[in-house]
Amino acid sequence: MINIRNIATYVPNNYLNLNNRFINIKKNFLTSKIGAIKVARMRKSENVVEMCVKSFKNLSIQLNKKKIKIVILCSQNPDHNGLPHNSAIIQKKLNLENNIACLDISQGCAGYLYGLKVAESFLKHDELALFFTCDPYSKIIKPKDYNTELLFGDAATLSILSKSQTSKSKKLISTDFYTDGSHYNSIINNANILSMNGKNVMNFTKNKVPNFIKNFLNKNRLKIDEIDKFYFHQGSKHIVNLISLSLGLKKKQTAKFVNNIGNTVSSSVPILLSNENFQKDKKIIICGFGVGLSISIGLLV
């Protein structure tokens, strides 16, 4: 089993103002449905590797670099089109040991749990994994595309993972995954331009995600009231509210939506965990959903 020891984040202090960009859209729609009147954008001088390194520099704990045995990056928009794997460049930038595994995962909104499971398969007791997420969709968004530019933001996160548990870490004890590749083109990169069928994605989220969560709880012999907090992928404020309503969650069970960053793809769940000080909750559900179309879910204790 894998433990999350610490999470660091980096959000560029650079934003696209949606009010100015889409003058025909009311501010109330942006705040109540999208959850943002501005979305984070990496600077022209930044790239995926640099944002990951900046998240490392924002760590609140000191690490013994000799214990780091794997670097994982989850991204579908890496530097150099993914060749070489960006995790190898990160290894060099951080001056890590050479006896280390480095790999990139091409996964989207459900990607955080994929990275946790990969780290679990590599690590031995007392070893550490650096798991980065960074997926700047701004690289492939068509300017003023209503379906995409309103939603997506850029950010990077770093999770420190190990098989040994500490007093503040959270242990991943159960996971489940779902993929419906028949709708692969609902969110797709066509000729380096992001295209999204919002209706398909919304139907998938409304019809599949709540039932998938309920089935997962049943498999683990848990009731909704036994979960202290649910951490959902921050696709949009409207989507998160729909899922919470469908499950009948109490207000105290829902993590506060992260406003004015945007949908940061695989970074959204770890950003949310970090903002909410996740170590204080006894039982946690984390759930990502989107590109694929895919769902991932995990139970942390």
The predicted-structure confidence for 203-215, as pLDDT tens digits, reads as follows: 999 999 999 999 9
Cα separation, 37 vs 182, in Å, equals 33
Alpha-helical runs (H) found in 2-161: 18-21, 27-29, 48-57, 86-93, 111-122
What's the pLDDT at 134? 98
Instruction: Identify the CA nearest to 112 among candidates 301, 287, 283.
Output: 287
Percent of the chain predicted with pLDDT > 70? 100
Tokens, residue 176: 């489940």
* Cβ partners under 8 Å of residue 45, min gap 6: none
Single-letter code of the amino acid located at 1: M
Taking residues 174-181, what's their average pLDDT? 97
Provide the β-strand partners of residue 102.
Answer: 71
What's the pLDDT at 277? 85
Instruction: Identify the CA nearest to 152 among candidates 42, 285, 255.
Output: 42
Single-letter code of the amino acid located at 176: D
Residue 128 CA to its chain's centroid (Å): 20
Residue 46 has pLDDT above 90, yes or no: yes
- Residue-wise pLDDT tens digits, 1-19: 999 999 999 999 999 999 8
Instruction: Identify the CA nearest to 255 among candidates 270, 263, 266.
Output: 270
Asked if 150 and 20 touch (Cβ cutoff 8 Å), the reply is no
Residue 250 has pLDDT above 90, yes or no: yes
Residue 165 has pLDDT above 90, yes or no: no
What's the pLDDT at 290? 96
What's the pLDDT at 279? 87
Alpha-helical runs (H) found in the chain: 18-21, 27-29, 48-57, 86-93, 111-122, 198-207, 209-219, 237-247, 268-275
The pTM for the full model equals 0.95
Residue 180 pLDDT grade (very low, low, confident, very high; cuts 50, 70, 90): very high
* Burial grade of 97 (CB within 10 A; 0-12, 13-18, 19 or more): exposed
- Residue-wise pLDDT tens digits, 104-128: 999 999 999 999 999 999 999 889 9
What's the pLDDT at 166? 86
Residue 24 has pLDDT above 90, yes or no: no
Q: What region does 300 belong to: left with phi over 0, alpha with psi -120 to 50, or beta? A: beta
What's the pLDDT at 232? 97
- Residue-wise pLDDT tens digits, 135-145: 999 999 999 89
Asked if 300 and 171 touch (Cβ cutoff 8 Å), the reply is yes
DSSP string, 64-103: -GGGEEEEEEE-SS-GGGGSS-HHHHHHHHTT--SS-EEE
* Cβ partners under 8 Å of residue 16, min gap 6: 38, 39, 41, 149
- Residue-wise pLDDT tens digits, 281-296: 899 999 999 999 999 9
Asked if 276 and 230 touch (Cβ cutoff 8 Å), the reply is no
Single-letter code of the amino acid located at 201: V
Domains annotated for the chain, with CATH where assigned, are 2-162 (3.40.47.10), 170-300 (3.40.47.10)
Quick check: helix, strand or coil at residue 138? helix
In terms of DSSP bridges, do strands 156-162 and 128-134 run parallel, antiparallel, or are they unpaired? antiparallel
